[in-house]
């Protein structure tokens, strides 16, 4: 078995371009949530709120973007930009084809909603008899084609995986990349997730089932994970990517190391197609399995980056899963979705990018908009202000998705 380290990170979020932009913004506690301009013309039961990247321009964000513009959905464009940053951050350009063979470089991408924006645009154009958008729907909509585009850009000749595990597809992508590097099937995995889910069909579907916040005050205060007055999630968008590398390869080329992935597991509730299991038992099983692979005791976890959507049922189930698996309630548990919303397939990947930064900088981002404790979420959620810590050696990432799928990933800090 091989040890797996993180040697590069990249992100596109509602804050703008770059992993450092994301990190500085979440540490500052600044909300990116606002009224959704892209849905302003639709009548809904409550105002559409979310965190969207205003004025994103693919052609200026990515050198050579013109070659991909007609093949890509907005979500794929986010992915290409974030993947490029992670690739550059890991300094893979000088290594690929030299110390790292091209056929030992794999691409792993997770998406929940795939090319829903492209499909919506095409449908609207057809129904209104306006000129069709200038893109290839076969490439822009189908998620199976998305890692192809990334592999093409970086001449990756190794394993390619497209993952669509509901709301944590990006986390599953990283987990699969970790597994393939650990078990020797590849040397480097460029792994992450993306989504641009803010389409009218998608938004109204979530509103109909009562998942979205009905908040009518300041949009920045809409998402309130673990607070007693929380009333639902808000949409986000973006992409996060990590370069996962065999430790021997990373050391041989003197790569910077953010942290090490030491355990991963996924489970399924097998109960409900929308709601998580009330007791969080199968989610807790995923955490226990990840800890077992990591060979660390539950009391070694210093921080949990949680799913934390701000829905009543999800937050309660997650708290039960974490506290049952760890056997404690004192561990800090934070949700950056309070600031950037739920980016669907990009969410867990963005959170893992931040988790790497947490291990390096020893700062816990806040869960903002927390105003009143919920007795069923009796935890330390790092409320409202970032917290410097003297130690953060081991961190846990948890996530879940529609259909009852759950994941847990354990990351360890790195000392040179």
Angstrom distance (rounded) from CA 219 to CA 229:
15
Angstrom distance (rounded) from CA 307 to CA 315:
8
Angstrom distance (rounded) from CA 404 to CA 416:
39
Residue that has been written with the tokens 């998305």 in this structure:
146
Residue that has been written with the tokens 């699969």 in this structure:
176
Of 306, 342, 381, 392, catalytic: 342
Of 139, 307, 377, 381, catalytic: 307
Residue that has been written with the tokens 């109204």 in this structure:
204
Angstrom distance (rounded) from CA 201 to CA 415:
47
| CB 271, CB 277: distance < 8 Å | yes
User: Which residues, in sequence order, are bridge partners of residue 108?
Assistant: 161, 191
Burial label, 180 (beta-carbon count in 10 A; 0-12, 13-18, 19+): buried
Catalytic (active site) residue 2: no
Residue 217: which residues within 8 A CB-CB, separation 6 or more?
Answer: none
CA distances from 314 to 267, 305, 336, 355 (A): 16, 14, 15, 21
Catalytic (active site) residue 342: yes
Residue that has been written with the tokens 């921080």 in this structure:
303
Output the DSSP codes for 49-68: EE---TT--HHHHSTTGGGT
Helix (H) or strand (E) holding 102: none
Q: Beta 160-163 vs 105-110: how paired, if at all?
A: parallel
Q: Any idea what DSSP says for residue 373?
A: B
Angstrom distance (rounded) from CA 83 to CA 239:
9
Q: Is the dihedral of CA 137, 141, 147, 150 positive or negative?
A: positive
In the chain, the N- to C-terminal Cα span, in Å, equals: 22
Angstrom distance (rounded) from CA 12 to CA 80:
10
Of 167, 223, 306, 354, catalytic: 167
Catalytic (active site) residue 139: no
Return the active site residues.
167, 307, 342
């Amino acid at each position: 078995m091989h040890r797996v380290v993180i040697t590069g990170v990249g992100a596109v979020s509602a804050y703008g371009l770059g992993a450092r932009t994301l990190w500085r913004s979440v540490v500052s506690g600044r909300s990116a949530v606002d009224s959704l301009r892209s849905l302003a013309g639709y009548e809904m039961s409550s105002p559409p709120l979310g965190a969207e990247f205003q004025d994103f321009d693919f052609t200026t964000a990515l050198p050579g973007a013109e070659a991909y513009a007609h093949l890509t959905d907005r979500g794929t464009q986010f992915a290409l930009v974030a993947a490029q940053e992670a690739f550059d951050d890991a300094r893979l350009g000088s290594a690929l084809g030299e110390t790292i063979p091209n056929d030992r470089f794999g691409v792993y991408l997770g998406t929940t909603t795939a090319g829903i924006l492209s499909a919506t645009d095409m449908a609207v154009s057809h129904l209104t008899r306006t000129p069709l958008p200038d893109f290839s729907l076969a490439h822009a909509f189908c998620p199976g084609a998305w890692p192809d585009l990334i592999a093409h850009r970086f001449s990756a000749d190794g394993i390619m995986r497209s993952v669509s595990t509901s709301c944590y597809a990006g986390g599953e992508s990283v987990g699969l990349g970790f597994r393939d590097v650990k078990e020797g099937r590849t040397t480097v995995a460029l792994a992450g997730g993306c989504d641009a889910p803010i389409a009218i069909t998608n938004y109204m579907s979530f509103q109909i089932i009562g998942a979205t916040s009905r908040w009518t005050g300041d949009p920045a205060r809409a998402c309130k994970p673990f607070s007693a007055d929380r009333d639902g999630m808000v949409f986000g968008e973006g992409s996060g990517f990590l370069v996962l590398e065999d430790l021997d390869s990373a050391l041989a080329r003197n790569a910077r190391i953010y942290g090490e992935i030491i355990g991963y597991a996924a489970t399924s509730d097998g109960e409900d197609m929308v709601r998580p299991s009330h007791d969080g038992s199968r989610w807790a099983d995923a955490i226990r399995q990840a800890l077992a692979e990591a060979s660390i005791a539950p009391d070694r976890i210093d921080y949990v980056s949680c799913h934390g959507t701000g829905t009543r049922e999800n937050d309660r189930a997650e708290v039960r899963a974490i506290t049952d698996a760890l056997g404690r309630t004192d561990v800090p548990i934070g949700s950056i979705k309070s600031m950037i919303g739920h980016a669907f397939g990009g969410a867990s990947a963005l959170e893992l990018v931040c988790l790497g930064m947490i291990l390096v900088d020893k700062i816990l981002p806040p869960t903002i908009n927390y105003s009143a404790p919920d007795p069923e979420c009796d935890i330390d959620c790092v409320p409202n202000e970032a917290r410097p810590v003297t130690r953060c050696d081991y961190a846990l990432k948890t996530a879940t998705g529609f259909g009852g799928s759950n994941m847990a990933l354990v990351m360890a800090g790195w000392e040179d």
